[in-house]
Amino acid sequence: MFDHEALDERGELVVVHKLPYSDVTQYSAEERATKFGADAPLEYSHTLTDQIGGQLAAGFVLTGFAEAPHQSNASAHFMSHYCATLAVKPG
């Protein structure tokens, strides 16, 4: 969601990407290698509809949910970056 350079270098929260987000659709392979390094992991975001709705549509029952911020940058003071579900499939 945020400009990586503004966030990492100055702690500024500058919105530049619409959510959901994918490094694959936002940047070419060459741009990703230049900006993040050739071996950097790809980043994706998902809507809760896609993530949780998809699990429910597949027949899973959610039994747990947790959120956590990305502790290494300034946005952690304002929002959670990660969520995890615990789901079981009956039967």
pLDDT of residue 54: 96
What does each C-alpha distance from 82 to 20, 32, 45, 48 come to in angstroms?
13, 22, 9, 11
CA distance 45 to 22: 6
Q: Which DSSP category does 22 fall into?
A: B
* pLDDT tens, residue order, the chain (91 aa): 888 788 888 888 899 988 899 999 999 999 999 988 989 999 888 899 999 999 999 999 999 999 988 777 777 778 888 899 999 999 9
At 48 the pLDDT is 92
Q: What is the pLDDT of residue 87?
A: 97
